[in-house]
Amino acid sequence: MPAGTRPAGMMLPLIAALALAPAKPTVLIYQDMVIEFTDKDNNVLVAKEIASGLDAVGKVAPVSWEMSEPAVVAAIRSGAIRSWEATAKKDDVFKVSRAIGADYVVICKVLRKGGELEGDIQLYRGRGGRTVWDNNAKYSIIRNGKLDIVSGSMTIASTWVAQLDTIPFKDLPASRSLATPDPGIPTATHTPSVRIDSAPLASGRKALREGKLIEAVVFLNDAVDADPMSAEPRLALIEALQQAGHPFLAAGEAARAYELMPDRSEFLIVAAQSWIDGGQTDRAFEKIQEALAKDPKNAAARTIFGDMMMGRLDFERAAEQYTAALAIRQDPETLYKRAQAYALTEEFSKSVEDLEKANKLGLSQEPEIATKRYRNNVGVLEPVIQSMAVAFRNLLKEAQSEPGGSLKARTDTWVLRASALMQYLDRVTPPLVHVKSHEQRGLAMNLLYQAGKGLHRHLAEGGQAGLGDADLLQIEAMRELAAAKSRFESEHAAPTPCA
């Protein structure tokens, strides 16, 4: 046999394999460009990155919206495409799709809006135009105080590629090109594994520990890009965004992660917590309901449900949710929260018991954790104290104008509630940074309590002196409360002191 020729017997299996190998579905990728009458073009290109990413995955054959694409060139030469424009209407995109025989069409758009990149993507059937899948994205990656458009666009593109791969294209085989077999004796080979770069994750965690939040977000974005299907870098990125004061970005990142990894319900939990931090309790409630529907015994979901009830001042339902969480898993933080709920429903003995148990179980006293816990506590206490102050002022006005009826019984109840709240405040240990405002808040509550006792004496014994003193005390209490709130906000802006 002449050198360089292949035996016919070896060629036949190759020809058969090529004939039987299924063709990859074709995807036409078009990026919609928004024309604005401004000096700056806010469009951010991602179509090429999406095409490159899909090609690397190997499940589909991407075709970019370019005249140089072989499929487009062939359609133009055959007359199937009679004209070509760099920008097109949706109908024209589908005409091109039919001309080249595309199975799918991707239409995407990414714009720079202020300090963020916002994008959306739709996947359609190539012929019928039926929507198969869509997604929205929002990213804000900052480097040296400026929006990093390159990193942001790459992150959006890689996220969309990963979602396309794992959602609409999940059942497609990763088709590989068949290499021509060598006629010689085959040698043993191994398939090289893809090495995930762990450096960005380690660097991001280090920056997070050191409080360098901008650096942490940048590194952790890179870590997510390096391993998009790993939960660890995404959870770290979400934590960094939360600490950096971007709850909506954190919630969006958690939602994207859950779409890619629907078996990881912790992403629903952190999304809910982020929405709560951003004041969007309705959206948080949706995520918690979704998490509990998947797993009714999710202790973290029950705890956050309790936090939401605390925010709505529904302390009894909050205690019920904390109790449900503790039945699943004993946790010192949840015990602390239930102690708070019990104190605010005047079940003081239960509150003290929970606080003691939380400390025995190792309630963290790390400065950052203790400070965050206390600030969350104040976030609940402030409206409670304000509500009690308003209720007392109403009792006082009623005593001045129309005393009698159930006023004395309602005043007695108010005094008991104020006493329980004071005892609870006495047992809450503030972090160093908030000692002054805590003392001032305690003074305000004590003045309000003394005003309540004065009103109680007036209703029991009569006379105008007690009524006048109660009025003066409640005015002074409101001044101290306002001063405590102002001081707390000033302390909040100060750095957290080390232990």
CATH number at residue 78: 3.40.50.10070
Residue 260 pLDDT:
87
The three-state (H, E, C) secondary structure of the chain, written as one string: CCCCCCCHHHHHHHHHHHHHCCCCCEEEEEECCCCCCCCCCCECCCHHHHHHHHHHHCCCEEEECCCCCHHHHHHHHHCCCCCCCCCCCHHHHHHHHHHHCCCEEEEEEEEEECCEEEEEEEEEECCCCCEEEEEEEEECCEECCEECHHHHHHHHHHHHHHHHHHCCCCCCCCCCCCCCCCCCCCCCCCCCCCCCCCHHHHHHHHHHHCCCHHHHHHHHHHHHHHCCCCHHHHHHHHHHHHHCCCHHHHHHHHHHHHHHCCCCCHHHHHHHHHHHHCCCHHHHHHHHHHHHHHCCCCHHHHHHHHHHHHHCCCHHHHHHHHHHHHHHCCCHHHHHHHHHHHHHCCCHHHHHHHHHHHHHCCCCCCHHHHHHHHHHHHHHHHHHHHHHHHHHHHHHHHHHHCCCCCHHHHHHHHHHHHHHHHHHHHHCCCCHHHHHHHHHHHHHHHHHHHHHHHHHHHHHHCCCHHHHHHHHHHHHHHHHHHHHHHHHHHHHHCCCCCC
| Total domains, the chain | 3
Residue 142 pLDDT:
67
- CATH at residue 245: 1.25.40.10
Higher per-residue confidence, 348 vs 195: 348
**Same domain, residue pair 78 and 160:** yes
**Same domain, residue pair 112 and 244:** no
Tell me: pLDDT of 189 over 60.
no
- Give the residue from 119, 145, 166 where a domain finishes: 166
**Same domain, residue pair 203 and 128:** no
Highest mean pLDDT among 14-28, 95-109, 136-150, 248-262: 95-109
Tell me: pLDDT of 190 over 70.
no
On whether residue 228 sits in a domain, the answer given is: yes
**Same domain, residue pair 213 and 152:** no
| Residue 289 Cα distances to 244, 274, 298, 304, 310, angstroms | 27, 15, 11, 11, 17
**Same domain, residue pair 442 and 376:** yes
Residue 180 pLDDT:
44
Tell me: pLDDT of 186 over 50.
no
**Same domain, residue pair 401 and 470:** yes
Mean residue pLDDT of the chain comes to 82
CA neighbor of 309 nearest in space, from 298, 320, 299, 323: 320
Cβ pair 122, 129 in contact under 8 A: no
Tell me: pLDDT of 185 over 70.
no
On whether residue 4 sits in a domain, the answer given is: no
Tell me: pLDDT of 2 over 50.
no
Residue 495 pLDDT:
57
Residue 421 pLDDT:
83
- Give the residue from 239, 266, 295 where a domain finishes: 295
On whether residue 119 sits in a domain, the answer given is: yes
**Same domain, residue pair 280 and 378:** no
CB-based contacts of 164, cutoff 8 Å, min separation 6: 54, 106, 123, 133
Tell me: pLDDT of 191 over 50.
no
Average pLDDT value for residue range 464-483: 85
**Same domain, residue pair 45 and 139:** yes
**Same domain, residue pair 148 and 256:** no
Cβ pair 133, 123 in contact under 8 A: yes
Residue 69 pLDDT:
84
What share of the chain has pLDDT > 70, as a percent?
87
**Same domain, residue pair 269 and 385:** no
Model confidence band, residue 127 (pLDDT cutoffs 50, 70, 90): confident
Residue 494 pLDDT:
63
pLDDT per residue over 355-388, tens digit each? 889 989 999 888 888 888 888 888 777 878 888 8
Model confidence band, residue 195 (pLDDT cutoffs 50, 70, 90): very low
Average pLDDT value for residue range 216-241: 88
Residue 328 pLDDT:
94
On whether residue 360 sits in a domain, the answer given is: no
Tell me: pLDDT of 7 over 60.
no
Residue 198 pLDDT:
59
Highest mean pLDDT among 86-90, 207-211, 440-444: 440-444
pLDDT per residue over 276-319, tens digit each? 877 777 788 888 888 888 888 999 999 999 988 887 778 899 99
| Count of other CB atoms within 10 angstroms of residue 308 | 20
**Same domain, residue pair 210 and 151:** no
Flag the least confident range among 10-19, 321-330, 416-425: 10-19
On whether residue 339 sits in a domain, the answer given is: no
Residue 338 pLDDT:
94
On whether residue 112 sits in a domain, the answer given is: yes
**Same domain, residue pair 29 and 98:** yes
Residue 28 pLDDT:
95
On whether residue 441 sits in a domain, the answer given is: yes
Model confidence band, residue 435 (pLDDT cutoffs 50, 70, 90): very high
On whether residue 329 sits in a domain, the answer given is: no
Tell me the residue range of the domain where 122 lies. Answer: 20-166
Does pTM top 0.75 for this prediction? no
354-391 burial, b at 16+ Cβ within 10 Å, e below that, comes to: bbebbeeeebeeeeeebbebbbbbbebbeebbeebbeb
Residue 122 pLDDT:
94
459-463 CB contacts, 8 Å cutoff, 24+ apart: 459/399, 459/403, 459/407, 459/408, 459/411, 460/408
- Give the residue from 260, 295, 330 where a domain finishes: 295
